[in-house]
């Protein structure tokens, strides 16, 4: 239609730092954001999503993950631990650590 601008199409990812806008065929430079840390979000059950680092433990029970609880991390760092919600508590259990220690599980109450 003459005189009407075309609807803007979504940007297509071309490179980590540039994108091309298909309707105008122009390259746009994207500035990199400052990232403090990166960690994978995990879920061992369908009702809890969590991020477990040696310095931070965050979890969400909200189906849309809009409410997050940030607490101290477990006392001993473990890889492949199991994180589960039991009632109003979060349990971190098992996993591999580099030495024997008596605390093989920890319980956190989010309230």
Q: CB–CB of 13/21 below 8 Å?
A: no
Return the structure tokens found at 31: 């500035």
Q: Which domain holds residue 59?
A: 42-109
37 part of a folded domain: no
49 part of a folded domain: yes
Q: Which residue has the tokens 């409410």?
A: 67
29 part of a folded domain: no
What are 39-82's pLDDT values in tens digits? 566 666 667 888 887 788 888 887 776 788 888 887 777 777 78
Overall domain count for the chain: 1
Side-chain-side CA neighbours of 35 within 13 Å: the count stands at 5
70 part of a folded domain: yes
For the question of whether the overall pTM of this predicted structure is more than 0.75, the answer is: no
């Amino acid at each position: 239609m003459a005189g009407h601008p075309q609807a803007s199409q979504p940007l297509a990812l071309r490179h980590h730092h540039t994108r091309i806008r298909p309707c105008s065929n122009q390259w746009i430079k994207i500035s990199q954001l400052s990232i403090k840390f990166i960690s994978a979000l995990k879920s061992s059950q369908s009702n809890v999503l969590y991020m477990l680092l040696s310095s931070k433990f965050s979890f969400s029970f909200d189906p849309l993950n809009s409410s997050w609880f940030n607490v101290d991390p477990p006392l001993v760092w473990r890889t492949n631990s199991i994180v589960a919600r039991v009632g109003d508590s979060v349990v971190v259990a098992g996993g591999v650590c580099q030495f024997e220690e008596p605390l093989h599980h920890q319980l956190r109450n989010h309230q």
